[in-house]
Amino acid sequence: MIWAATAVYAVALSVESIREHERFATGFDTAIFDQALWLLAHGDDPFSTIVDRSMLAGLQPGLALLTPLYWLGAEVSWLLAAQAVGLALAAPALYALARERGASPMLAAVPALLWLVSPWTASVNLFEFHPQVFAPALLAVSALAGLQGRWVVLTVTAVVAMSMKQDIPLTYFMLGVLLALSGRRRVGAILASGSVLWLVVARVAFESGDSSYEFYEERFAGDRGDTVGDALSWILRHPVDTLSDVAGHSGGDLFLLVLATAALALFAPAWLLLTVPSLLYNALSDYPAQHSLAFQYHLMTAAGLFVAAAVGVRRVEELSRSGRLAIAGLMATALAAALLGGIQVHSRWERDPFDDRDRARIREALSRVPDDVPVAASTHLQPHLSQRAELYTLPEPFVPIDWDGALTAEELRAKIPGVRYVALVEGDGPIEYPRDIATVVPLVRRAGFVEIYRDGPVSVFERSS
């Protein structure tokens, strides 16, 4: 049953996410990873011109494991299908973990199935592509391997998972603590210390590539300062305001994530430690996207809660009849919430940035842009142009974006003569550029480009020969 449900989820979400891509609902994030993998498959440095940094320099080196797909001719649709499969595979891993902890087959199936029907799993699946989608399944397998004493499996899954995003080692640090508390002190200490070492090495590698974490720190701090240190200082000096912010920003999200497990995560309170790093990072951040279940930031919090649910679900059998009835009620409530949340998450009209007429215009515009030539494009056009060595995020390279990329303003301006085409949709710019993307058009014209296509808000410019 679990494998059948896993397959249904993988197929259904693959179809839906690919359809959304074809409707131009994907954007900046997806293009970054598609370009990096395309470059790796061609033996090039995976330096993403989209975001001005290398994707392997201490940030997400695990991305390279998907390179063989691109040897076979993969494109964005393949990535989106792989993402659906990766998220779906957490279900059998959670089932195996619950069975190892002594749950009956019927009870062990509950966390796995709740993971698949959770709208907060689907919301990650339908918002772009991100390599960390493989981490929940890996985390569940790591927990299982650690409890079973299968150290090779634990090592491999931990290394792969931590390589998918720079903050995942914090979750594995907590897994090391949990293994130590469960009596596996040596392996727990090794995992915890190895996770800290990974964090340090990743930071050094990232900054050695002429990048820095200043952009992320400023985003985290928001109005509280310019760095994480400034934000923490403000938090300590304003505890009441901080608690109010946390409750208002993240309290509801946490409630919904716990409810998605039918509160089964609460049966393994120690294992809730897995959620602490991502939960605190999101709750204390001043970046609004981290307070929304519409994006990917809650993924590791959800993964930690479902792992805790898988560990604790066996305790349902120890409850009295009234206790089991209460859990049945929570399961029904979780399913009802999944239905209501699913309606919201799967409502296409809330995600599609363009209507049918604009999509037809975009398809015509993209047909005017040749393959393999350097292009600057607005956000939602990028995943359809990303398999090339040079793709810039408008307004770059004409106007630098302050996101701590590896290229200086002078180096970016030096790239302008090499750009052959510019494609844009008015209003379709990155959030880091607060003005309408159409404001860059005069700069494009002055750089020697002429408009070769325009229909409504969609334009294509070609460099004049």
Mean local confidence (pLDDT), 16-25: 94
Position 19: which residue type?
R
Q: Provide the 3-class DSSP secondary structure of residue 53.
A: strand
Confidence of residue 203 (pLDDT cuts 50, 70, 90): confident
Pairing, β 47-48 against β 375-377? unpaired
Q: Provide the 3-class DSSP secondary structure of residue 422.
A: strand
pLDDT at 432: 84
pLDDT at 58: 52
Nearest to 48, CA basis, from 28, 67, 27: 28
Residue 228 pLDDT > 90: no
Residues of the chain with pLDDT > 90, as a percent, come to: 70
In this structure, the answer to whether residues 376 and 407 fall within a common structural domain is: yes
In angstroms, the CA 20 to CA 76 distance is 11
Summarize pLDDT for 388-431 with one digit per residue, the tens. 999 999 999 999 988 777 788 888 899 999 999 999 999 998 88
In this structure, the answer to whether residues 393 and 309 fall within a common structural domain is: no
pLDDT at 351: 62
Beta-carbon count within 10 A of 438 CB: 17
In angstroms, the CA 20 to CA 5 distance is 22
Mean local confidence (pLDDT), 59-79: 91
pLDDT at 54: 76
pLDDT at 271: 97
Summarize pLDDT for 360-383 with one digit per residue, the tens. 999 999 999 999 899 999 999 999
CB of 274 closer than 8 Å to CB of 171: yes
Low-confidence winner among 113-127, 197-211, 212-226, 406-420 (lowest mean pLDDT): 197-211
Tell me which of 324, 349, 374 is where a domain ends: 349
Residues of the chain with pLDDT > 70, as a percent, come to: 96
pLDDT at 188: 94
In this structure, the answer to whether residues 187 and 229 fall within a common structural domain is: yes
pLDDT at 121: 97
pLDDT at 186: 92
In angstroms, the CA 141 to CA 363 distance is 42
In this structure, the answer to whether residues 236 and 343 fall within a common structural domain is: yes
Mean local confidence (pLDDT), 70-93: 97
Q: Provide the 3-class DSSP secondary structure of residue 315.
A: helix
In angstroms, the CA 224 to CA 218 distance is 9
In angstroms, the CA 323 to CA 308 distance is 19
φ/ψ (deg, to 5) at 31: -65, -40
DSSP 250: I
φ/ψ (deg, to 5) at 274: -60, -30
| pTM summary value | 0.94
CB of 164 closer than 8 Å to CB of 86: no
Counting Cβ atoms within 10 Å, is residue 367 exposed (0-12), middle (13-18) or buried (19+)?
exposed
The widest CA-to-CA distance across the chain, in whole angstroms, is 81
Confidence of residue 97 (pLDDT cuts 50, 70, 90): very high
Domain that holds residue 408: 356-463
pLDDT at 33: 93
In this structure, the answer to whether residues 328 and 391 fall within a common structural domain is: no
Summarize pLDDT for 130-166 with one digit per residue, the tens. 999 999 999 999 999 999 999 999 999 999 999 998 8
In this structure, the answer to whether residues 322 and 383 fall within a common structural domain is: no
In this structure, the answer to whether residues 324 and 360 fall within a common structural domain is: no
Residue 350 pLDDT > 60: no
pLDDT at 57: 61
In this structure, the answer to whether residues 256 and 271 fall within a common structural domain is: yes
Nearest to 18, CA basis, from 120, 113, 129, 123: 129
Residue 211 pLDDT > 70: no
Tell me which of 349, 372, 391 is where a domain ends: 349
Summarize pLDDT for 166-176 with one digit per residue, the tens. 889 999 999 99
Tell me which of 333, 349, 365 is where a domain ends: 349
Into how many domains does the chain fold? Answer: 2
In this structure, the answer to whether residues 423 and 342 fall within a common structural domain is: no
φ/ψ (deg, to 5) at 184: -95, 65
Give the DSSP letter string of 74-120.
Answer: --HHHHHHHHHHHHHTHHHHHHHHHHHTT--HHHHHHHHHHHHH-HH
The dihedral formed by the CA atoms of 217, 219, 222 and 225, expressed in degrees to the nearest 10: 20
In this structure, the answer to whether residues 371 and 337 fall within a common structural domain is: no
DSSP 247: I
In this structure, the answer to whether residues 160 and 94 fall within a common structural domain is: yes
In this structure, the answer to whether residues 57 and 145 fall within a common structural domain is: yes
């030096």: which residue's tokens? 414
In angstroms, the CA 52 to CA 186 distance is 41
In angstroms, the CA 242 to CA 256 distance is 21
pLDDT at 459: 96
φ/ψ (deg, to 5) at 458: -100, 130
Residue 253 pLDDT > 60: yes
Strand partners, 455: 458
Strand partners, 48: 53
